[in-house]
Structures are given as C-alpha cells and as structure tokens.
Structure 1
Amino acid sequence: MEPAIPAGIDDIDDEWLSQAMGSPARITGITDIGTGVGMIGAIYRATLEGDGPDTVVLKMPGLDETARFTAQILRLNIREVGFYRELAAESPIRVPHCHFGGVDVETHQFVLVLEDVGSYRAVSQIEGMGRADAEQAVDEMAAWHAHWWGKAGPIVERGTAMAIHDPIYPMLLPPVFSDGWAKVRGAMSVPRVVETVADGWVEALPEMLGSLATTPSTLVHGDYRADNMFFDDDGRVVLLDFQVIGQSMPVGDLAYFVTGSLSPATASEIEPGLYERWRRALATEGIPESELDGMWDVYRGAALFCVCYPMIAGAGMDLTDERQRGLLEATFERFERAADELSLTDLL
C-alpha cells in the first residue's frame, strides 16, 4: 500500500520514507534547498542512513499562497507527478529516478521522492551557459521533441500535460502577467524595450498563443533552462522540473532556452547556429523538412512570449532577495538583446 501524501515536510519521518522507498531508511537531516531560487514548489534534501542512497530530494507544494494557487489552476503538481509515473521511463533525456510520487487530484497536494543529482555539474542561470553546453542541451532538446513528435495529444487527454490552446491560458495569463508587471515595475528599473513589450504584451497574447498552437506539435518541456538541468560525468543533460509539460509548437522550448539561459554576448554569437543545429537534429531523427518550414517566424513570436516568464515569476518573488532580483535582472538584459536582434517590437 502506498503511503499517505504528507501535508508538509514535518510529516515525513523514517517510517513514511521507508514505506515510500520500499526499504528501511533513517533520516539524519533535512535541508531546504529551494528557497530563494525561483521555485514554485518546496524542495528539500534528506540525508539518510541505511542500505539505500545517502541522500534523496523531496519535492512538495510551496508555502506561498500565490504559488499554490497558480500550481492548482495550471495543474502543475498533477503534471509533474504524472510525468514521473507515466513518461519518465521513455524520456530520451536522462531524468532523476523517482523513488515515489503521489498526488491528490482534488487538493493538488503532492510529494515526490527523487534521486539526488546535485553532485553533477550545474550551470548558473545568472552567469549563463557557454557554447559547448548550449549545443549539447539543444541536441538533447531535439531528441526530446522528436520522440514525442505528433504524439502529445493522448498525453493531454490523460491530464498529464496541457495544450497551449487550453482556454485557461488566455483567461489566467493576462491578470497574472499584469500583477507581476506592476510589482516588478514598482520595485526595479527595466530596459526601455521591456517596458514597451510589457505594455503591449496582453493585447498581443492571442496571436502568440495561436501561433504556438498550430501544427506540428510535440510534448514540450516548457521550462527548459540552465537552472533545470545538470550535466553528468559524460557531459549529458540531466533534466529536472516537469510541472509545465505541454503540447505546443516545439520551437517555443528553443526560444525560451536561448533567450533565458545564454548571456547576451553568447546568444548574439550562436543563436542562429543553435536554431539550425536544432533543425538538423530533428531532421536526423526523421522529422520531415517540410514540417520545419516557417519555424523561424514562430521562434520570434515565442521569444516575444517569453517576457511573461519573469513577470509571472516576479509576482511571487522577494525582490529584496539578491539572487531572486539577480535572476530577473539577467532575464531582462537577455530579453533586451533578443528584442533588438529579432526585432520583436515589430510583432506587437
């Protein structure tokens, strides 16, 4: 019998974890590793004694009420637990082993007990990813997209993912974006082009969503960025965080990755090459070239859409916290580069 889903971290003890992992485990310490790093959920590392791993990662609902509301409306917890239960075994990108995952579909309370991959090499989201890592990440992104190319529909129907054309997005995103933009604008200075785009973003949203909702579609990760990946000893990606997996045009993942995880100088130098590399990798995986035509225009629209992410994240951030503020500042600097080089204001 599966253990009950705990209400909070204080409910996780030796007995609960032993039942969840299927072998005796004794907890010698639990450390919060999620606070201040822009996570919607609460994340902890448990240090263990016993025959199993020395540590595991525990993921549970966040404590912030805004974050919990967003998670419930967008089914974030249901999606992530569903990914680990239904899809992780076939992922072409390595993901942490899930020792246990459970979610209450009525309350959205959930828990994940995951392999701790924190010993692998990480790349700072604020510092940005270099060329070699970016190329590896894009190659593996293409393998992910190709694997589920044209196959995301049934996953959406099961409730494990949400389609970008789901009516919740045009209903929820404008007020959440506006609230976040008001908070960010009042707390920090942003580049002028960010102000221009943000002021016209809500009006442009239906066209952006419509573009991403066209075919071909695949299962997208939705949050493919430096902070959500490690690189293992062979240099391959270990991917995290599957709360926003969905059905969409695949190029949105690429635009989000390039505009969010590369420094302006690096993105300026390698963005066109990464786009072509992604296309070639998909073609190598057997995706017809005809299905990749016209993707660059969708890529630009997806880059424009990406200004929503720092606004939505900012709504739940402590902007007096140095790292959280630094994340937003880096994101806005990178978006400024994208807006200039991709002429994004022309799309408003």
Structure 2
Amino acid sequence: MTRRPVTPTPPIPEDGRSLDLDWVRRALAAGGRLALPTGIRIEEVGVGSGVMGQVMRCHLDYGESNDSAPASIIVKLPSVNAKTRRLGKRLLLYRREYDFYRNLASRIPVSTPRLLYGDFEPKSHRFALVLEDIRGMAVVDQIAGASPAQAKRAIRALARMHGAYWNRTQEAPVSGSYDSNNPKLSPIVQVVYLANLVRTLKHFGDAFSSTTRPLAQAFGLGVVDHMAALGAGPRTFTHGDYRLDNLFFDDGGDDGVTVIVCGGLDLDDDRSRRLAEVGLKRSLAAIEDLDVAEFIPASSRPSRNRRLFTHACRIAYGAYRSFKGI
C-alpha cells in the first residue's frame, strides 16, 4: 500500500504581517487540500471588531479554474497586544477556541466554519486557525439588535446544541471540554465579579437603579453558592459567548444560522466598551422586569452586610489587579 507523504506543518506566524503565499500553501497542504493557490491578497478584517486576536482574510488565486477550491479563507492569530495575549493565555481563551474548532465544531448540531488547518503551541498558547470564509451571510449589528425572525433562528440553533448534550457532558465529543462550573474556579469567578463590579459601579453607576444596585452587590457575595447550585442541576455543553457578533444569518429558513467561536472581547477596543455598556443596560432592564430578589439570601443582602461587601470588593479588586498584571 502506498502511503501519502506527510506534509510538514508551517511555523505559527508571529502576526498577520508574517502571512504570505508560501505559508498559506503549506498550511492548506498540511490540512489535506489538494488544490493550492498561486496568488494571494491579504487584508485584516478584525480591526475595530473587539476580538482578542487578529483576523485576516486571504483572497486566493489559482493557476486554473477550480470550483472546489476556496476563493478566500480566514486566518486567525493571537493579538499583537502583549497584555491581551497574556490575558488570553491566563483565561485559556486561545486554547479553548483552538480545541473547539479542532475537536468539536464538525460534531455539534449547529453550523460552524469548517476548519482547514490548525496549530497550537501549548507553552506560549500561540495558535493559527485557517477557517472557511463564510462571506455572503448577513452580519447583524449587535448594538442595533436582531429582528424577531433572526432571534428565533438563533434561539433554535442554541436549543439544538443544548438539547443534544443535555446531561450528557461526560460523553464524546464534549467530554473533557472546559468546565466553566468547576468548583475550583468558583472563588476566582467571585473575585473577578467583585473586582469588575467596583469598576462597573464607578463608570456606569447611573445605569443602576435602587433595585438593581443592591441585587448586583448581593450576588457578588453569593457567587460560589450560586455556582454550586448550578452544578447540582442539569448540565450541558454551552457556547459561552453566544451573541450577535458571533452569529451569521443566511436565507436558508429556520436553520440559516452559522455560529463562530471567538476568544472573547478586547475591552481596550472602543466598540467592545460600547457593547459592554449596551449589554449592561439591557441586562439591568431585564432584571427590573423579573422578581430576582427571592434568589438572593437575606443574609447576603448589602443593606444588612454592607461592611462585608465593601471589604470583599477591596480584596477582590487588589487580587484581580495582580492577576492581570496591571
């Protein structure tokens, strides 16, 4: 039996400026593509979108017509910002994104861009993803919001994914995935919540009402208990960042939604800060419409324990600054 020779993998580019025709040809060959481009034009498309990395679109030319060869591809790389890269490594954002496309994307019941090639360096968390370019699908402005029909599609797609793995998280292919409800992470989540609540109340305090401010404070004191309660209930595989910026819509009826996985928002980006502000106000408005006070233990309410809340926030903020290296 004749074996096909193994194509050596190309080194992970330092940044988008390091991309060239040779690297793309080697990556596509290593990914098993037979038709390789003879020309390339590269543009950065992630600028201003708030993603924690570089997103490059490569327009490809071929020596002869080939309908099966992609006219363009997307290459995703880590951020050029050292601070953002450190945060991505500490929160495992790049590793989780790579693992999703490498091990899960083709096996979950929602449409995702096809992985053409991927590489990841465990020590540094540098990575490269070569993905199908899903141009032609509609992108919805997250600040403006989706139409009722688009929202319906998005919810149905999410329900398919949740339903497929409902109480089956120990089964393949999702077993071994990142567990956001790991009890070991609960104290860290509480620290991060309290630290960010300090900054949120400082910059967006006017958005909180006399109802939502004490609820936000009370929740901060009960994050560990809340996560334990969630862990005791049904479990499933979740996206983790399911929002309009990560959804693409086509005219394919109820199922015309493609979902992407992104490493998170870079809050040094102006648009990301605007998204955070809009999301906060919408969430607070929703809380106003719900009777959520019953979920907050009376012993945790700031009106009865304000000194504890203030002390916890100070400790959390100091710990979080150390964690981020700021």
Pairwise TM-score range, normalised by the shorter structure:
0.7 to 0.9
Distance in structure 1 (CA, Å) of the matches to 2:54 and 2:86: 14
1:12 has 2:19 as partner:
yes
1:192 has 2:208 as partner:
yes
Distance in structure 2 (CA, Å) of the matches to 1:66 and 1:341: 38
Closer, same or farther: CA 126–214 of 1 in aligned 2, 3 Å = same
Q: Name the SS for the 1:118 alignment partner.
A: coil
Q: Name the SS for the 2:27 alignment partner.
A: helix
1:327 has 2:275 as partner:
yes
Closer, same or farther: CA 75–133 of 1 in aligned 2, 3 Å = same
Gaps of 5+ in 1: 245-312
Q: Which of these residues, 226, 234, 240, is aligned with residue 252 of structure 2?
A: 234
CA RMSD in angstroms, aligned pairs only: 2.7
Closer, same or farther: CA 141–112 of 1 in aligned 2, 3 Å = same
Q: Higher helix fraction: Structure 1 or Structure 2?
A: 1
Distance in structure 2 (CA, Å) of the matches to 1:31 and 1:188: 36
2:182 corresponds in structure 1 to 166
2:160 corresponds in structure 1 to 143
The aligned runs of 1:44-55 (5 Å cut-off) are: 44-50=56-62, 51=66, 52-55=69-72
Distance in structure 2 (CA, Å) of the matches to 1:191 and 1:156: 42
Closer, same or farther: CA 212–38 of 1 in aligned 2, 3 Å = farther
C-alpha deviation, 1:14, in angstroms: 0.9
The aligned runs of 1:210-225 (5 Å cut-off) are: 210-225=228-243
Query: 149-158 vs 199-208, which deviates more?
Result: 149-158
Q: Percent identity?
A: 27
Give the letter for the 1:49 counterpart: D
Query: Is this contact kept in 2: 1:21–1:100, CA < 8 A?
Result: yes
Give the letter for the 1:152 counterpart: T
2:284 corresponds in structure 1 to 336
Query: Is this contact kept in 2: 1:339–1:345, CA < 8 A?
Result: no
Give the letter for the 1:221 counterpart: H
Query: 85-94 vs 46-55, which deviates more?
Result: 46-55
Closer, same or farther: CA 116–329 of 1 in aligned 2, 3 Å = same
Closer, same or farther: CA 222–104 of 1 in aligned 2, 3 Å = same
2:310 corresponds in structure 1 to none
1:39 has 2:51 as partner:
yes
Gaps of 5+ in 2: 1-7, 30-34, 297-326
Q: Which of these residues, 89, 92, 107, is aligned with residue 90 of structure 1?
A: 107
1:204 has 2:222 as partner:
yes
Bigger radius of gyration: 2
C-alpha deviation, 1:241, in angstroms: 0.7
Closer, same or farther: CA 40–155 of 1 in aligned 2, 3 Å = farther
Deviation per CA, 1:197-244, whole angstroms, max 9, x where unpaired?
Answer: 443342121122123222421111111111111112314110001658
Give the letter for the 1:146 counterpart: G
Query: Is this contact kept in 1: 2:183–2:228, CA < 8 A?
Result: no
TM-score (normalizing by structure 2): 0.74
Distance in structure 2 (CA, Å) of the matches to 1:156 and 1:211: 25
Q: Which of these residues, 263, 267, 276, is aligned with residue 317 of structure 1?
A: 267
Query: Is this contact kept in 2: 1:21–1:99, CA < 8 A?
Result: yes
The aligned runs of 1:234-313 (5 Å cut-off) are: 234-235=252-253, 236-241=256-261
Closer, same or farther: CA 201–60 of 1 in aligned 2, 3 Å = farther
1:299 corresponds in structure 2 to none
Q: Name the SS for the 1:117 alignment partner.
A: coil
Q: How many residues align?
A: 275
Q: Name the SS for the 2:220 alignment partner.
A: helix
